[in-house]
Structure 1
Amino acid sequence: MGLAEAALILVAGVIAGTINTVVGSGTLVTFPTLLFFGFAPVTANVSNTVGLIAGGLTGSWGYRHELGGMRTTLLRWAPMSLLGGVAGALLLLVLDPAAFKAIVPVLIGLGVLLVAFGPRITAWSTARRGDAELAPLGEHSRRRAVLLAFSVFATAIYGGYFGAAQGVILMGLLTTLTSEPLQALNGVKNVLSTIVNAVAALTFIVVAPDQVDWRVAGLIAAGSLVGGVLGSRVGRRLPPNALRAVIIVIGVVAIVRILWTS
């Protein structure tokens, strides 16, 4: 690996860490970069997942104030993210990547639509079922709590498998199914996505250590570590409507990019 190649991978890590913290889909920067430099798709995906953990940690820490009062909720959903991340990582190692990547644009598109129309769906649901049915995160009915847990688990499977725009999908689901402030949900998204990346990376290291390129993982880790700090500073200052617009734009770009390179 030459110096210029290493520098570009490092920069891609910074950008990915920033985007992941603000909304998600930073993988759509680092993954194509690694493919461009000739890394095999599975190796690129695995090494990228390992490297982006660092950015998830700094991004989550940057949102610590928005996460005040969310401890119980995070403890409830963390096991769903953990189990889903492991399942998704194992799927990557045993399934044909083309079989699952065909549905990736559909999933991202669903997330974008949920982010865009989530407030209207929430308002409609509240008016139809009553305020008690759409309480804050810690006060949901049993049915809605089960639906939320399943949504977190399903998104974690996707995140462990590929990871691109899992934040967009998760934010779309959470903004539709809860009434929490957008910035608080973004903090929750950062923590859950970091858990998914961490357990998926651990699964890769244990089950397929030969697929991890530690030079690449180290460069992306160093870059995303800085990107997580930058992303939390930028993201926390965005008004809710501006943050929602950023999520939608990045989600649409992600769909176009995936379809263009397929």
Structure 2
Amino acid sequence: MDTLSLALLAVAALGAGVLNAMAGGGSFLTFPALVATGVPPIVANATSAMAVAPGYLGSTLGFRDEIAAQPRRRLWLEMAIVALGGVLGALLLLVTPSHVFSGIVPWLLGFATLLFALGPRLTAWARGHQPGHPTDPSTPDAGHLSPWRAVVILLVATYGGYFNGGLGILLMAVYLLLGETQLNTVNALKNLNSLVLSVLSVVAFAVAGAIVWPQALWMMVWATLGGWAGARLAKRLPMAWVRAIVIVTGVVMTLLFALK
């Protein structure tokens, strides 16, 4: 890699780490940066997933108390389903012809941008349409995983394994619709399942040789630094500014890939 490419990838990964720590949307920076430096789209998508993966671990650890309070049996079942979905999505990406994936990238970016822009409204709508009975870990059937819940989580996880953009918002909305009433619990489940999905899909990408390791390792360092900085910036910058930056970035990248 030349110096300019290294600098571009470092800036993109640093920005992605900051955005993911504050509001999400880091893939809007890492994926286009990899493509701009000559990495094929499918490999760029896989490498981007690898680059931002470490951030999910810190997010999950921050909600360990909420995770520990969940019914253990259902938690493990959902993690297994998410892992399956992540692998299925990754395999689907790997068998997608490069020219086909290039053609749907603008649609994926546009969908992820729309999800992010509508995130607060989508979450509010989901909370307003929750079932009338909250999930209580102390009830006898709290560990039960309904077929409907399993299928919905599998579909969302498959999307996340294929293209990570907007995954967090989808997971939050799904858990609210499925009856979770505590926002901290929803965030905890979202972060845990994002970590599981990310790890499994990245392993599938790595086994298939779809990750360019020099770029991935270089970007992981900067994304981790960005996550550390973003956690501190989150206390200073208005969230509306951060969301606006992510949305504008998503729109611009969608248009650029569509025109290309």
Q: TM-score, normalised to structure 1's length?
A: 0.77
Please list the CA deviations of residues 108-162 of structure 1 after superposition, one character each: whole Å capped at 9, or x if unmatched: 6467546414434433444xxxx32x43578688998433332221121111112
Gap regions ≥5 residues in structure 2: none
Question: Deviating runs (4+, > 6 A) in structure 1?
Answer: 137-144, 245-248
Structure-2 separation of matches of 1:224 and 1:88: 23
1:180 and 2:181 correspond: yes
Letter in 2 for 1:184: T
1:259 and 2:248 correspond: no
Please list the CA deviations of residues 68-107 of structure 1 after superposition, one character each: whole Å capped at 9, or x if unmatched: 5247354232111100110011111112315654653346
CA RMSD between the two structures: 3.5
Give the structure with the larger helix fraction.
Answer: 1
Tell me if the contact between 2:90 and 2:162 (Cα under 8 Å) persists in the aligned partners: yes
Letter in 2 for 1:97: F
- For this pair of structures, how many residues does the alignment match? 250
| 1:258 CA displacement | 5.2
Please list the CA deviations of residues 218-243 of structure 1 after superposition, one character each: whole Å capped at 9, or x if unmatched: 012112223334455666x69xxx97
Distance 1:164 1:125, change over 3 A: closer
Q: What is the identity percentage for the equivalent residue pairs of Structure 1 and Structure 2?
A: 26
Q: Secondary structure at the match of 2:38?
A: coil
Greater shift in the superposed pair: 18-27 or 74-83: 18-27
| 1:256 CA displacement | 2.5
Tell me if the contact between 2:23 and 2:243 (Cα under 8 Å) persists in the aligned partners: no
Please list the CA deviations of residues 173-201 of structure 1 after superposition, one character each: whole Å capped at 9, or x if unmatched: 22333343334322322221121121111
Q: Indicate the residue corresponding to 1:54 in structure 2.
A: 54
Q: Indicate the residue corresponding to 2:101 in structure 1.
A: 97
Tell me if the contact between 1:9 and 1:33 (Cα under 8 Å) persists in the aligned partners: yes
Aligned residue runs from structure 1 range 37-186, under 5 A = 37-65=37-65, 67-70=67-70, 72=72, 74-95=75-96, 96-98=100-102, 101=105, 104=108, 105-106=110-111, 109=114, 113=118, 115-126=120-131, 131-132=132-133, 134-135=134-135, 145-186=146-187
Structure-2 separation of matches of 1:102 and 1:182: 31
Structure-1 separation of matches of 2:184 and 2:38: 38
Q: Indicate the residue corresponding to 1:20 in structure 2.
A: 20
Q: TM-score, normalised to structure 2's length?
A: 0.77
Letter in 1 for 2:185: A
Distance 1:121 1:194, change over 3 A: closer
Gap regions ≥5 residues in structure 1: none
Letter in 2 for 1:214: W
Q: Indicate the residue corresponding to 2:193 in structure 1.
A: 192
Distance 1:85 1:120, change over 3 A: closer
Q: Indicate the residue corresponding to 1:213 in structure 2.
A: 212
